[in-house]
Structure 1
Amino acid sequence: MTFSTLDRDYTSENTHTEYSIISGNFHNYFHIETSLLHSEYPHQQGGALVLLRALDREASSSHQLVVLASDHGCPPLSSTSIIAIEVLDVNDNPPTFSSRQYNAHVKESTPVGSHITVVSADDHDTGSHAEIIYGIISGNEKEHFYLEERTGVLYLVKPLDYEEIITFTLTVQAADEEEKHVSFAVVRISVLDDNDHTPQFMSSTLTCVAPENLPTFSIVCSVHALDFDAGPYGEVTYSILSPCLVTHGIHLYQDLFVIDPITGDIRTEQMLDYESVTKYCLVVQARDRGGTTASLEVWVEVEGIDEFEPIFTQDQYFFSLPEKGQGQQLIGKVEASDADDGIDGVVLYSLRTPSSLFSVNKTNGNIYWLRTPFLTSSQLTQEDTLEVTITAHSPKPSSKSTSCSVFVNVSLPSEGHHRTAFAHSFSISLVVSFLVFLLLVCTLIVLILKHKQKNPRRSYEEKTLSPPDDDPRLTGAASKLKAGQQTVEYRDVTGPAGAMPAEWLNLMSVMEKDIIHLYRHSNSSGLCSVDGETAEDKEIQRINEQPYRKDSDSVLSDR
């Protein structure tokens, strides 16, 4: 701007004017330059206010300068004037956030539409240049939040889930209306976990098997519960509440077990004994930080161990064979007991080595005699005693076992032995007698055939010419008959037992009479005629009868 003064003096000294700023130019924004004015006053000068550097409305929106005008007269005269300057705004400033980072904590159970936080920015410009528009640039891909563009209020528009996302990082922008100037800030939203999940066991019951005699403080089994909460609410601790409410056949645990509150390992404080208690039941509870709980029924089954060997009632057993019976016969029984319980206490019996003479019932211990064809009664004597070893064990392959000896007297009684010997002798005698009888019958048939082949007339002449004692046919027949009798006598006069039985003697007597009768009939039929018997026939009959009678008398005398 320019300005000037009016001085009514006429001389040059009194009209020469100089200008200066005496007040209001604190930051030296302004300067006054003096120059001559082309006016009716030749020496009149004017001043120009010069801006030395740019003004900042945001620093000072107005300036008030006091300008002094003075001449060169003596004394110099002066006057002052005030210049008021108002600085106009231009859009030269970007919006500025009050904070470069905003932090907010929100529970995952916060309802939709809730106010989360407010972001704010300031623009030092005025008027329309100072209007700011807000927006979310990044971090809101799942559209959980909404930022009010005029107020900068951040709202929740979608439910949060701590187990899905625990932290959101949003980048927000503040821009003027022309979007000539922008600025950015970060909004970090932390989701707080709610205890919206309870602990869960995989099943309502758990069965553990622990061998008896397990050392104290050994781990029996472990329990584990799941809590889908993250953070503190997802931490679970374990405790044993009480025994189960089942009392039939189930023993109360009575502080036998302890549980690690962190790992869930269940340990024993005492040794377990299968023979005392076979099963325990207890209730385990899982609790999270929020106080919600879940329970589990734990069954601890004690597994028996084969601790004891079977014990027989006797170390040795003595039995005898029955006097009568056929096939398989029960001769005795062994018995053993086992102090173990369960399957380890079951006793089974077996032969240590297989036997063809004996068998044993594996469940009740009965011992049987097997009637084998390779062992006859003649092989058994009063001194025959057999030994067999019986083993008692449980059904498990690796179970403990014990053995006992069984002695069996297999000799026959004395009366039975004599009966057997007599029956054996009688059977041999009967076979020999039958063979002798066949021999005699064959001999008789041969004699009859030979006698029929001779001429009856020639025989008659030879009989009349020759003396009766020299008749070869009679002599031969008599000699053959005697030989046959001697054979019978020598062969059968003694039996296998050393004495001839009465039945055998009676049989021989009958056979002799039958042979004599047949021989007589043969002679009479070959020499007879219609006239009847002759004196010669009677003589021959007398000669033939005499040896038989003699022999028969000798045999009877021997009897």
Structure 2
Amino acid sequence: MKMMYIASLCLKTGMESRMNAWILCSQFILFLSDWSAAQISYSVTEEMDKGTVVGNLAKDLNVNARDLQSMNLNIVSGYSKKYFEANFKTGDLYANERIDREEICPNTAKCTLNLEAILSNPVVLQRIEVVIVDLNDNAPTFVDKLFSLNISESSPSGERFLLPQAVDADAGSNSVKTYKLSTNEYFSLDVQSAEEHSVSAELVLLKTLDREKHAHIKLTLTAVDGGKPPNTGTVQININVLDVNDNTPSFSKTLYKARVNENAPVGSFVIQVNATDLDEGDNGRVIYSFVRRAIFNPANVFSINAETGEITVKGALDYEAQSAYEIHVQASDKGASPRRANGKLLVEVVDVNDNAPEIVVTSLINPVREDADVGSVVALVTVTDKDGGKNGQTRCKLAGPTPFKLNLNYKNYYSLVVDGPLDREVLSLYNVTITANDEGTPSLSSTSIINVEVSDVNDNAPRFIEPEINIYVKENSPVGVSVFTIRAVDPDINENGKITFALEGDSKNIPITSFININTDTGDIVSLHSFNFEELKTFQFKVRATDSGVPPLSSNVTVNVCILDENDNNPTILAPFSEHGSINSETIPYSAEAGYFVAKIRAVDADSGYNALLSYHLSEPKGNNLFRIGTSTGEIRTKRRMSDNDLKTHPLLVLVSDNGEPSLSSTVSIDVVVVESTTDIQTQFRHVPIKEDNFSDLNLYLLIAIVSVSVIFLLSLISLIAVRCHRTDGSFSRYSAPMITTHPDGSWSYSKATQQYDVCFSSDTLKSDVMVFPAPFPPVDAELISINGGDTFTRTQTLPNKETPKAPNADWRYSASLRAGGVMQSSVHMEESSVMQGAQGVLVQNWPTASSAADGEGGEVSPPMGAGVDSNSWHFRYGPGGPGAPPQHLKPGEVPPEAFIIPGSPAIISIRQNQGGEDDKSDFITFGKKEEAKKKKKKKKEKKDKKDKGKDDDE
């Protein structure tokens, strides 16, 4: 994964930089496997001069030294002092501080400094181990400059006496390696050394002492280290020769071992040592004590029972401070000249998980750009635990969901990298919590919080609070006044969130910049023009908001400006009362009733809304209550009838007011003259001079329209009369009605015709008869039926219909005129289905028939009173069941299906439907002469013209 990640970084770097950067990335990929498994190791001696070169990083990292600065090489360590630094020009790693091994690594055999070499472009992490080589710069020393030793003269040869131990701050081969004793005849020196223990020296008695010869012996003990050249340290040994105690206590073991847990409470039992003495009395009674060795005094940590030799815990034990103690116990008898024996005790401190992991964070990039790529290194995290074994093994993780993650670099070294998208507008500060746990029982943990700031990137365009802005400005408002403030927000900060405003575009070829201006910083819109609602009601423009980021982002908003109307126009009186030079006078008759129309005042207002809502009022003299005016209509009418006390001339002042605040008004004066009759009114009008200049364009248009309508009406009337008069009496071709012919066997045939309601007789027919169809009847949907004289029926088309009309009873009764007629000589044409069918949707199954003797249904045909067989006037009654049957229902405007005219014959056929009386129960068809019909029509027209003329006179 790491190899693929660095390869992707190298690819990105290779495309953006020079060719040698790509070659360098290739080398990183080739040696990545070695870096993941090994580390760079250098060795330097302590106390070297500042600036001393330790090694060449460019060579060991396989990087060109010239590219180190561009790749941002950093040397990171967890120490308080920065002991090493890198030279970007040569790639050398040199000493930046004085290095004292004894200060950095006290009491340790091997001293190393761990560093991290970090390349940021591309990201490469390399662990560096610098081994500090010890110099023999410290000589062995003894804590005490004088050491006294009491030896009985009776001490046998070969008896040993423990000598003080020298301390050397150096380690390894430069520490104390041996001891030397000054030349004497009584004692020799036995030096004991071991790999795991320090070097110790014992004084060995070579021959019996003689107190009488030498009561005091002075020796010099020299400690020699392993340096080249070696350093030495000395201590003066004074031996006091005592008298007679010939048995020395003896320990049961030469080496005692014990284990005790760290942090064991005070008084905890460690071990019990035992020594015996063959002497009796006080010379055989043994007491125990600790022997102080160099700087370590066992009595500070442990306590020993002088009588029993039981050792217990006295002070705090810390495995991390010291994991083992080497204690020397002395057993002495209580003789006058006490004899002593030395025993050795090795106490091992058992580690307890009492140290939580420690987290050290080294920030590399803070703040982090919000557009940082995934995998960008933010910080280095080092986790340490002072405990040993599993108690010192740690695991590290992030707490909670964050756009970061920890990558393990080497052992307990981690990198905090970006693992997801960052958005400063959502969260500008991340408190990244790092939790480290060890593997002890119970496990201990520690937490460290890293504050990672996210720096802003211009990734948000300004946003307007409203998608569209409506501004309302009063007309006649002063120039230079702020009418509105445009507000826009940008989640970005600093320059990225600083917004400036500008106007964009013109509205319908209107130069916006001549009307308004905008403050680029505050967004205040200032008017540069005093608006007039009557000239401009609305206009539109756009405002662009742009931030100051790089690159800048912007957005637009549409602004609609609506001009609000103010009441700045007086009502205007319309013609004829507004014409200059005209006489505003009206004449009414003395006989005028209450409510008589006098005049109507019309006015308009250029304003709108309530400002243009007009009301009319009369400002009349006090006590004059003859006239009133419609408040909303402006019509002047009389309140009552005239009386003899009323004046003949009434001057009226009409006040027209609008509904604005404040209200504006106009006035017009009218003189109302009372005359005796209508003739006087007309005369009065004829005396009113009409000036030619008062004939307006509106009057001209009205005159042209009236003349045009009149001409069109006259042309239409002439055309209609010509069409009606063009029809000839004997013309059957116009109707082209198909014939329906009956046959002796009762069958019939017909053909379809145009929709007409005319029935025509031939001109040479002397009389016209109506014949009743014999059974079976044709369908009710038949559109036209033709009956020819000679009792002949012909069927030319069968009409579709789901219902068959009900046939009357076969027993027919004919009137005398029909019987006398003999064979029918005329032909009857019935056009359109209405002959057999009523109004739309209402089936008419009743045919004109003679009375049926069987059931009383059907109709009856009879000549009019005084008419003979040759009479041309007939009455025909039809319908079911006689007088009690209901009338047929027709919709308004429909022609009754039974009405028809017979052209070429002196007879006409019409339908009469009466409402009320007995005529409501049946309908009649009347046969009459044309001349009589024309006379009636002419008489009716004269009566109507006379009535209309009378109405005109009244008006």
Place the TM-score, normalised by the shorter chain, in its bin: 0.5 to 0.7
Task: Give the match's secondary structure for 2:568.
Answer: coil
Q: After the TM superposition, which residues 37-436 of structure 1 pair with which residues of structure 2 at under 5 Å, given as runs?
A: 42=157, 48-50=163-165, 63-64=175-176, 67-71=179-183, 82=224, 91-92=320-321, 104-120=366-382, 133=394, 135=396, 140-148=399-407, 150-172=412-434, 186-229=449-492, 233-244=496-507, 246-247=508-509, 251-290=510-549, 291-310=552-571, 313=578, 318-322=584-588, 331-332=598-599, 340-343=606-609, 346=612, 348=614, 350-352=616-618, 357-360=626-629, 368-370=636-638, 372-373=640-641, 375-376=642-643, 378-379=644-645, 384-396=648-660, 398-412=662-676
Equivalent pair of 2:567/2:660 in contact (CA under 8 Å): no
Deviation, structure 1 residue 212? 1.5
Equivalent pair of 1:346/1:395 in contact (CA under 8 Å): yes
Task: Name structure 1 gaps, 5 residues minimum.
Answer: 1-22, 418-559
1:473 counterpart residue number: none
Equivalent pair of 1:385/1:411 in contact (CA under 8 Å): no
Deviation readout 1:96-126 (Å, 9 max, x if unpaired): 766687773223344555433212357899x
Equivalent pair of 1:282/1:298 in contact (CA under 8 Å): yes
C-alpha separation in 2, matches of 1:26 and 1:176: 40
Deviation, structure 1 residue 239? 2.0
Distance 1:28 1:173, change over 3 A: farther
Deviation, structure 1 residue 63? 2.0
Distance 1:96 1:318, change over 3 A: closer
C-alpha separation in 2, matches of 1:334 and 1:33: 142
C-alpha separation in 2, matches of 1:39 and 1:269: 128
Match for 1:50: what amino acid? Q
Bigger helix fraction: 1
Match for 2:503: what amino acid? I
Deviates more, 1:352-361 or 1:271-280: 352-361
Deviation readout 1:18-59 (Å, 9 max, x if unpaired): xxxxx954575688957569999849876524377xx989x9
Distance 1:27 1:162, change over 3 A: farther
Task: Give the match's secondary structure for 2:367.
Answer: strand
Task: Name structure 2 gaps, 5 residues minimum.
Answer: 1-136, 186-217, 228-317, 323-354, 682-955
Q: After the TM superposition, which residues 4-19 of structure 1 pair with which residues of structure 2 at under 5 Å, given as runs?
A: none
Distance 1:142 1:242, change over 3 A: same
C-alpha separation in 1, matches of 2:364 and 2:380: 9
The alignment of Structure 1 onto Structure 2 pairs a total of residues equal to 375
C-alpha separation in 2, matches of 1:364 and 1:317: 22
Deviation readout 1:283-323 (Å, 9 max, x if unpaired): 10122344222111112121222224346647996424245
2:762 counterpart residue number: none
Distance 1:344 1:69, change over 3 A: same
Task: Give the match's secondary structure for 2:676.
Answer: coil
Q: Which has the higher contact order (CA 8 A, sep 6+)?
A: 1
Equivalent pair of 1:24/1:65 in contact (CA under 8 Å): no
C-alpha separation in 1, matches of 2:429 and 2:169: 42
Match for 1:386: what amino acid? H
C-alpha separation in 2, matches of 1:230 and 1:319: 78
Q: After the TM superposition, which residues 444-455 of structure 1 pair with which residues of structure 2 at under 5 Å, given as runs?
A: none
Distance 1:295 1:336, change over 3 A: same
Task: Give the match's secondary structure for 2:513.
Answer: coil
Distance 1:145 1:347, change over 3 A: closer
C-alpha separation in 2, matches of 1:193 and 1:414: 94
Distance 1:134 1:347, change over 3 A: closer
| Bigger radius of gyration among the two | 1
Equivalent pair of 2:473/2:564 in contact (CA under 8 Å): yes
Deviates more, 1:162-171 or 1:92-101: 92-101
Distance 1:412 1:151, change over 3 A: same
Distance 1:40 1:333, change over 3 A: closer
Deviation, structure 1 residue 390? 0.7
2:699 counterpart residue number: none
C-alpha separation in 2, matches of 1:390 and 1:61: 132
1:432 counterpart residue number: none
Task: Give the match's secondary structure for 2:366.
Answer: strand
Deviation readout 1:110-160 (Å, 9 max, x if unpaired): 4555433212357899x96997636358xx433443334632211334443
C-alpha separation in 1, matches of 2:438 and 2:454: 32
Match for 1:399: what amino acid? S
Deviation, structure 1 residue 190? 0.8
Task: Give the match's secondary structure for 2:473.
Answer: strand
1:503 counterpart residue number: none
C-alpha separation in 1, matches of 2:433 and 2:142: 42
C-alpha separation in 2, matches of 1:278 and 1:77: 123
Task: Give the match's secondary structure for 1:254.
Answer: helix
Task: Give the match's secondary structure for 2:652.
Answer: strand
Equivalent pair of 1:32/1:47 in contact (CA under 8 Å): no
Deviation readout 1:155-198 (Å, 9 max, x if unpaired): 33444332332212335466877699988754221122344433
Equivalent pair of 2:180/2:223 in contact (CA under 8 Å): yes
Task: Give the match's secondary structure for 1:352.
Answer: strand
Distance 1:370 1:27, change over 3 A: farther
Equivalent pair of 1:316/1:406 in contact (CA under 8 Å): no
Equivalent pair of 1:221/1:267 in contact (CA under 8 Å): yes
Q: After the TM superposition, which residues 20-39 of structure 1 pair with which residues of structure 2 at under 5 Å, given as runs?
A: 24-25=138-139
RMSD value, Cα: 5.2
Equivalent pair of 2:588/2:673 in contact (CA under 8 Å): no
TM-score, normalization by structure 1? 0.52
Deviates more, 1:354-363 or 1:253-262: 354-363
C-alpha separation in 1, matches of 2:582 and 2:631: 18
Deviation readout 1:346-372 (Å, 9 max, x if unpaired): 48351236986434466785x544373
Q: Percent identity?
A: 19
Task: Give the match's secondary structure for 1:154.
Answer: strand
Match for 1:299: what amino acid? N
